[in-house]
């Protein structure tokens, strides 16, 4: 069914054109339903006075951009040298002639042109054929597993929460989610902050009497159930911490031009936070809408082209905006699974397995596609899908160890003993 | 089921009656769970009827007069139209407005409908058989889905609702079955039917079951008129077994019947029963409902062929329900609605401008009715919603609503009129506000916090003429809405 007011025409002329929300635009949240029944609050002494920065923080910021919905890494970082790719996708393959060449096997979708300068300067790189150790093709189970990152164990906290716990906490700004709801990876005892915007991150109403107002709210929440008290106390601390940050009302720097979209706004907030000097160790963002079962489109137009255009221009703006802070920032994309190699009759792709991870940052070993490429021959596929030859925890783990100063990964990824890939340089 | 002594009866008037007394705990608990938030009127009603009779009334919603909300629905220009009607066109300005109307009307019903339990159950099913509203493909059909799938069957039989959902153009387009064919099936609906609508991912179906499910469902599509149809030419009539449901090779003409049988088999499967009873119990009882309760509910589900009302009765009759007070945290949407309800906020006298603004608030909060962007529906557990940013949004809206600042179209009760009279001490004022807003006394910490804001002690004198009271009572009301006691469902 083709429709008026379709995805490609979001400003459909109705009264709220600019406010539209599409299923296709936001398969983004932390999928907490998958975590139903799992409450992992620890109260801790949330009202204790703490120093602003974690004592051990080395200044590096890991930015995790979740591409929820099942990102088709094969449309983004195209194995143009593999004939099986073109055989499997007669209508939606990206023609080899249009690819932005990376090496003999791979090329980028032309919509990713904004990232080519970073590829050339060695700060944008790719790991291909990344997967999870226990693949599932359910969005919700796969996201839960990816954000918990403790398969086969009874651990129910999220991996970012364990990261913050392991790096040491000094401020509720150590981990910040730029979204409406915290990602599943924040679940656990460490105190993270979730907000869509730093500006206006304060209470309305009490006028100049905020200190009294805050004190009253703190008192009211003494002894309350932890799932109510913890976010309230975190909020009060976060509002007070954000109020101390300089320049949170400033705009993008260095001529950076973000797309006027949720992703552009979120990445601009992330850059602002980083540039303000906030002691932010991890920033989490979502950019959903990749569940392309039908109508993925062709190289010169459609859903995938539009999504990759927005993703690439937003990432390029982010890197530009950061300026010198780009050197201490590493952005990694994650998606719960890749998609089926073969297209379906609806011009789309059903759920698959192996996927591409994009890396952008000053310490990235860019300009190359990392990882072991398993190929797309029928004998190499796993249940019709690209095999996963690199565990996603190996990519994250290397960034945490080499860039963020994490020691052993045993707490963060229990039971995982991956090897180093060489995707980032040590600080 | 516990019942309780009567409190003064029969006071029904346009303005909310003050809570004269702390409500009995069981009555308050029932209203916190079975409605979108207690009000003075609803507490008076349950006190008059007793909990059992109150539930009987709510489980027969057609017998309840809901004229005010029906009249409000009449302000919606597109909500009542069929999918085919909107699809046929002629309403140039429609576009996404039918979907926005559906969301706004749902919100209005949650705030003002007399059929409160029905509205809660509708919300549960909307999240089980979820079709994101608004989303691009269902601009012509989502309002029809709301009326003819979810609301028609919410207190009926789940199998009927599942079949209606599978054949509805909204679901067929949302999960892509409309474009699935025998030659190259689209797996999206076949998978989510198993994972989200019935058995659940923990049930252990295989990838082969998903593929078989998708193939069996081929043929259900959307016709030229925008309605759901079965087109035999698209159906895969091969024999297969899906999770134990065996279909022999069959003619394409018989495919429709086999699809129906498959859906109805799934709807009453004990694994489905257990999972969907878990959804209901998570809504009404706790984030981790006890296994014994789920066993009992699932037994009723299987015995009655998936009838919703007997399952709800099993739940409300259980000791687990009555022992679960304080175990749920309000979601953002519920907090907004419960705030407007307890404040006695009146419906706008004309138009839909006020509800539209409320709708934008909850949408910004990531919690507009039916707007969850993924096919699994909104979660209903505290871990999903208790966040710093969510807390900030709640507290700021409490201030808006308590002060009557926004949206101006709604009829807010001035803070000074919330209480029948202003008590003579600040301690008494805080106590009275706590009972008026939450139905029960505040905790000692909550009371201390409110007095700290007021800068007064328990025995400090207080009166309606007190300048501080006149200038600041609205702030005290907002803070009362911020208490953990109000945050609990």
Q: What integer pLDDT is reported at residue B233 of this predicted model? A: 97
Q: State how far the Cα of B5 lies from the Cα of A114, in Å rounded to an integer.
A: 71
Any A CB within 8 A of B373 CB = yes
- A-chain residues near B186 (CB < 8 A): 293-294, 344-346, 348, 350
Task: Give SS3 for B488.
Answer: strand
Any A CB within 8 A of B396 CB = yes
Q: What integer pLDDT is reported at residue B217 of this predicted model? A: 98
Q: What integer pLDDT is reported at residue B136 of this predicted model? A: 83
Q: Taking 80 as the threshold, does the pLDDT of residue B9 lie above it?
A: no
> Are B397 and B336 spatial neighbours (Cβ–Cβ below 8 Å)?
yes
C-alpha distances in Å from residue B113, one per residue of B80, B120, B121? 18, 11, 13
- Contact across the interface for B329 and A225, Cβ inside 8 Å: yes
CA distance A400 to chain B (A): 25
C-alpha distances in Å from residue B477, one per residue of B281, B347, B391, B446, B466? 32, 20, 17, 13, 16
Q: Taking 90 as the threshold, does the pLDDT of residue B2 lie above it?
A: no
A 169-188: CB under 8 A from B: 172, 179-182, 187
Q: State how far the Cα of B398 lies from the Cα of B37, in Å rounded to an integer.
A: 15
The beta-carbon neighbor of A216 closest among B178, B373, B452 is B452
Any A CB within 8 A of B484 CB = yes
CA distance B288 to chain A (A): 5
Q: State how far the Cα of B394 lies from the Cα of B401, in Å rounded to an integer.
A: 10
What is the complex's ipTM, to 2 decimals? 0.91
pLDDT in tens, A356-378: 999 999 999 999 999 999 999 99
Any A CB within 8 A of B363 CB = yes
Q: What integer pLDDT is reported at residue B92 of this predicted model? A: 60
DSSP string spanning A298-323?
A: BTTBSHHHHHHHHHHHHHHHHHHHHG
| Regions of chain A short of the pLDDT cut 70 | 1-55
DSSP string spanning B75-129?
A: T-SSTTS-HHHHHH---TT-TTHHHHHHHHHHHHHHHH-S-HHHHHHHHHHHHHS
CA distance B349 to chain A (A): 22
Q: State how far the Cα of B296 lies from the Cα of B307, in Å rounded to an integer.
A: 14
pTM of the model: 0.88
Q: What integer pLDDT is reported at residue A15 of this predicted model? A: 39
Q: How confident is the model at residue B95 (pLDDT cuts 50, 70, 90)?
A: confident
Q: What is the mean pLDDT of chain B?
A: 93
- Contact across the interface for A31 and B376, Cβ inside 8 Å: yes
The beta-carbon neighbor of A32 closest among B97, B384, B446 is B384
The beta-carbon neighbor of A220 closest among B210, B287, B445 is B445
Any B CB within 8 A of A199 CB = no
What are B247's strand-pairing partners?
Answer: B240
**Virtual torsion, Cα B49, B55, B56, B60, nearest 10 deg:** 120
Any B CB within 8 A of A42 CB = no
Q: What percent of chain B has a predicted confidence (pLDDT) above 70?
A: 95
CA distance B261 to chain A (A): 25
- Is the CA virtual torsion A194, A197, A201, A203 positive or negative? negative
CA distance B299 to chain A (A): 22
Buried b / exposed e over A228-247, threshold 16 CB at 10 Å, is bbbbbbbbbbbbebbeebee
Q: What integer pLDDT is reported at residue A52 of this predicted model? A: 61
Q: State how far the Cα of A26 lies from the Cα of B211, in Å rounded to an integer.
A: 26
The beta-carbon neighbor of B288 closest among A37, A182, A351 is A37
- A-chain residues near B403 (CB < 8 A): 205
Interstrand relation of A124-131 and A355-361 (parallel, antiparallel or unpaired): antiparallel
Residue A28: alpha-carbon gap to chain centroid: 10
Q: What integer pLDDT is reported at residue A407 of this predicted model? A: 85
Task: Give SS3 for A94.
Answer: coil
Q: From A294, which residue of chain B is nearest by alpha-carbon distance? A: B176
Q: What integer pLDDT is reported at residue B156 of this predicted model? A: 98
- B-chain residues near A2 (CB < 8 A): none
Q: What is the mean pLDDT of residues B279-307?
A: 98
CA distance A401 to chain B (A): 29
Residue pointed to by tokens 């106390």: A233
Q: Taking 90 as the threshold, does the pLDDT of residue B17 lie above it?
A: no
């Amino acid at each position: 069914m083709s429709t008026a007011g379709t995805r490609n025409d979001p400003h459909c002329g109705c009264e709220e054109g600019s406010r539209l929300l599409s299923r296709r635009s936001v398969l983004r949240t932390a999928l907490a339903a998958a975590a139903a029944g799992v409450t992992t609050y620890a109260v801790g002494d949330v009202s204790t006075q703490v120093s602003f920065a974690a004592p051990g923080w080395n200044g590096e910021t890991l930015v995790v951009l979740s591409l929820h919905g099942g990102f088709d890494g094969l449309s983004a970082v195209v194995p143009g040298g593999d004939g099986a790719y073109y055989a499997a996708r007669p209508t939606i393959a990206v023609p080899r002639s249009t690819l932005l060449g990376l090496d003999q096997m791979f090329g980028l979708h032309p919509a990713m042109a904004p990232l080519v300068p970073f590829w050339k300067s060695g700060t944008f790189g790719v790991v291909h054929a990344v997967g999870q150790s226990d693949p599932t093709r359910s969005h919700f189970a796969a996201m839960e597993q990816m954000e918990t990152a403790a398969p086969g164990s009874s651990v129910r906290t999220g991996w970012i929460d364990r990261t913050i716990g392991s790096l040491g906490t000094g401020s509720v700004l150590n981990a910040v989610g730029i979204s409406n709801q915290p990602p599943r990876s924040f679940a656990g005892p460490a105190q993270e902050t979730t907000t869509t915007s730093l500006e206006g991150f304060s209470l309305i109403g009490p006028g100049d009497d905020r200190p009294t107002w805050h004190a009253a709210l703190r008192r009211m929440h003494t002894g309350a159930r932890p799932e109510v008290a913890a976010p309230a106390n975190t909020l009060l601390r976060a509002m007070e911490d954000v109020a101390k940050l300089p320049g949170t009302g400033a705009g993008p720097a260095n001529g950076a031009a973000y797309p006027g979209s949720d992703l552009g706004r979120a990445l601009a907030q992330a850059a602002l936070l980083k540039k303000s000097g906030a002691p932010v160790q991890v920033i989490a963002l979502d950019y959903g809408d990749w569940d392309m079962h039908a109508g993925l489109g062709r190289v010169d137009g459609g859903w995938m082209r539009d999504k990759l255009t927005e993703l690439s221009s937003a990432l390029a703006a982010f890197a530009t905006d950061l300026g010198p802070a780009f050197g201490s920032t590493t952005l990694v994309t994650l998606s719960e699974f890749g998609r089926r190699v073969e297209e379906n009759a609806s011009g789309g792709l059903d759920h698959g397995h192996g996927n591409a991870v994009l890396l952008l940052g000053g310490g990235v070993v860019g300009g190359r596609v990392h990882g072991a490429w398993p190929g797309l021959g029928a004998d190499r596929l796993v249940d019709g899908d690209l095999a996963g030859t690199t565990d996603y925890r190996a990519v994250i783990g290397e960034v945490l160890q080499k860039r963020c100063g994490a020691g052993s990964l045993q707490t963060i990824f229990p039971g995982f003993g991956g090897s180093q890939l060489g995707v980032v340089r040590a600080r | 089921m516990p019942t309780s002594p009567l409190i003064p009866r029969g006071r029904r008037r346009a303005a909310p009656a003050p809570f004269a007394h702390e409500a009995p705990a069981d009555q308050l608990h029932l209203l916190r769970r079975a409605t979108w938030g207690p009000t003075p009127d609803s507490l008076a009603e349950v006190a008059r009827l007793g909990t059992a009779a109150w539930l009987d009334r709510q489980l027969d919603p057609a017998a309840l007069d809901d004229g005010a909300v029906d009249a409000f629905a009449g302000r919606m220009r597109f909500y009542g139209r069929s999918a085919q009607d909107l699809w046929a066109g002629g309403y140039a300005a429609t576009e996404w407005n039918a979907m926005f109307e559906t969301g706004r009307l749902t919100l209005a019903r949650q705030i003002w409908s007399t059929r409160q339990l029905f509205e809660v159950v509708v919300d549960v099913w909307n999240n089980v058989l979820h079709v994101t509203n608004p989303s691009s493909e269902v601009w012509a059909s989502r309002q029809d889905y709301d009326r003819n799938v979810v609301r028609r069957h919410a207190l009926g039989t789940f199998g009927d609702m599942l079949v209606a959902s599978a054949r509805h153009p909204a679901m067929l387009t949302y999960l892509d079955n409309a474009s699935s064919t025998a030659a190259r099936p689209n797996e999206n609906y076949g998978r989510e039917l198993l994972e989200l609508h019935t058995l659940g991912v923990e049930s252990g179906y295989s990838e082969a079951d998903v593929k078989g499910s998708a193939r069996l469902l081929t043929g259900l599509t959307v016709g030229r008129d925008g309605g759901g149809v079965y087109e035999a030419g698209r159906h895969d009539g091969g024999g297969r077994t899906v999770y134990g449901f065996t279909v022999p090779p069959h003619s394409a003409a018989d495919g429709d019947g086999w699809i129906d049988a498959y859906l109805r088999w799934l709807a009453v499967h004990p694994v489905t029963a257990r999972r969907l009873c878990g959804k209901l119990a998570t809504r009404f009882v706790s984030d981790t409902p006890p296994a014994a309760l789920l066993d009992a509910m699932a037994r009723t589900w299987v015995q009655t062929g998936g009838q919703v009302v007997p399952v709800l009765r099993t739940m409300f009759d259980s000791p687990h329900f009555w022992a679960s007070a304080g175990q749920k945290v309000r979601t953002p949407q519920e907090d907004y609605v419960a705030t407007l309800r307890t404040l006695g906020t009146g419906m706008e006298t004309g138009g839909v401008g006020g509800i539209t603004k409320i709708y934008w608030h909850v949408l910004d909060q990531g919690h507009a009715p039916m707007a969850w962007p993924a096919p699994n529906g909104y979660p209903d557990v505290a871990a999903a919603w208790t966040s710093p940013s969510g807390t900030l949004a709640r507290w700021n809206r409490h201030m808006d609503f308590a002060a009557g600042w926004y949206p101006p179209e709604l009829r807010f009760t001035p803070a000074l009129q919330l209480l029948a009279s202003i008590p003579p001490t600040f301690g008494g004022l805080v106590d009275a506000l706590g009972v008026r807003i939450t139905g029960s006394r505040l905790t000692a910490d909550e009371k201390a916090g409110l007095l700290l804001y007021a800068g007064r002690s328990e025995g400090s004198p207080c009166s309606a003429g007190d300048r501080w009271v006149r200038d600041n009572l609205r702030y005290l009301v907002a803070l009362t809405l911020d208490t953990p006691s109000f945050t609990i469902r």
